[in-house]
Amino acid sequence: MTAPVAVACAAALLAAAAPVAAQGAPLRLTFGAAVARAATEAPAVSVARLRGDAADARARQASASLWPGLSAAASYTNRSFNRASLGLGALPGAPADPLVGPFDIMDGRLSLQQPLLDFGARRRRDAARAAAGAARAGTERTAEAAAANAALAYLESARADALVAARLADSVLAAELVALARTQREAEVAIGLDVTRAETQLVAAIGGLIVARNARARAHLALARALGLEADQRIELADTLRADLATVGLPSDRDTLVALARLGRPDLTAQLADAAAARASVDAVTAERLPRLDLAADLGLNGPAVADMIVTRQVAVQVTLPIIDDLRRGPRLAERRAQAAEAEVLARDLASQVAAEIDGARYDLEAAAAGLTIAAQGVRLATAELAQARERFAAGVAGNLELITAQVSLLRARDAEIDARYQAATARVALARAVGVAHTLGSPR
Dihedrals phi, psi of 297, to nearest 5 degrees: -145, 150
- Across the range 253-282, mean pLDDT stands at 91
| Cβ neighbours of residue 109 closer than 8 Å, sequence gap 6 or more | 72, 73, 74, 298, 299, 300, 301, 302
Question: In the structure, what pLDDT confidence band is assigned to residue 1 with cuts at 50, 70 and 90?
Answer: very low
Structure confidence at residue 15 (pLDDT) = 55
Structure confidence at residue 3 (pLDDT) = 40
Which residue, 167, 168, 147, 153, is CA-closest to 237? 153
For 155-184, letters b (16+ CB in 10 Å) and e give bbbbbbbbbbbbbbebbebbbebbebbbeb
Is 70 exceeded by the pLDDT of residue 445?
no
Q: Name which residue leads in pLDDT, 16 or 275.
A: 275
Half-sphere exposure of 19 (CA within 13 A, CB side): 9
**Dihedral (CA of 437, 438, 444, 445) sign:** positive
For 343-377, letters b (16+ CB in 10 Å) and e give bbeebeebbeebbebbeebbebbeebeebbeebbe
Measured in whole angstroms, the distance separating CA 391 from the mean position of its chain's CA atoms is: 55
Is 60 exceeded by the pLDDT of residue 247?
yes
- Across the range 271-300, mean pLDDT stands at 91
Question: How many whole angstroms separate alpha carbon 58 and alpha carbon 73?
Answer: 28
Q: What is the pTM of this model?
A: 0.81
Percent of the chain at pLDDT > 90 equals: 54
pLDDT tens string 306-352: 888 899 999 999 998 888 777 788 888 898 899 999 999 999 999 88
Can you list the positions of beta strands (E) in 250-368? 292-303, 310-320
Structure confidence at residue 13 (pLDDT) = 54
Structure confidence at residue 106 (pLDDT) = 92
Question: How many whole angstroms separate alpha carbon 85 and alpha carbon 89?
Answer: 9
pLDDT tens string 36-83: 999 999 999 999 999 999 999 999 999 988 899 999 999 999 988 887
Structure confidence at residue 201 (pLDDT) = 87
Q: Is domain 3-66+119-286+331-440 classified as CATH 1.20.1600.10?
A: yes
**Dihedral (CA of 228, 230, 231, 235) sign:** negative
Question: How many whole angstroms separate alpha carbon 403 and alpha carbon 278?
Answer: 69
Of the chain, the end-to-end C-alpha distance in Å amounts to 55
- Across the range 169-197, mean pLDDT stands at 86
The answer to whether the beta carbons of residues 58 and 125 sit under 8 Å apart is no
- DSSP 8-state code for residue 188: T
Helix or strand holding residue 18 (H, E): none
Question: In the structure, what pLDDT confidence band is assigned to residue 380 with cuts at 50, 70 and 90?
Answer: very high
- Got the DSSP string for 121-161? HHHHHHHHHHHHHHHHHHHHHHHHHHHHHHHHHHHHHHHHH
Residue type, 261: A
Question: In the structure, what pLDDT confidence band is assigned to residue 12 with cuts at 50, 70 and 90?
Answer: low
Structure confidence at residue 183 (pLDDT) = 87
| Cβ neighbours of residue 160 closer than 8 Å, sequence gap 6 or more | 212, 215, 216, 218, 219, 220
Helix or strand holding residue 244 (H, E): none
Pairing verdict, β 235-237 and 27-29 = parallel
Question: In the structure, what pLDDT confidence band is assigned to residue 103 with cuts at 50, 70 and 90?
Answer: confident
Structure confidence at residue 432 (pLDDT) = 92
Structure confidence at residue 18 (pLDDT) = 55
Range with the largest mean pLDDT of 21-25, 203-207, 400-404 = 203-207
Is 60 exceeded by the pLDDT of residue 108?
yes
The domain segmentation of the chain, as residue ranges, is: 3-66+119-286+331-440
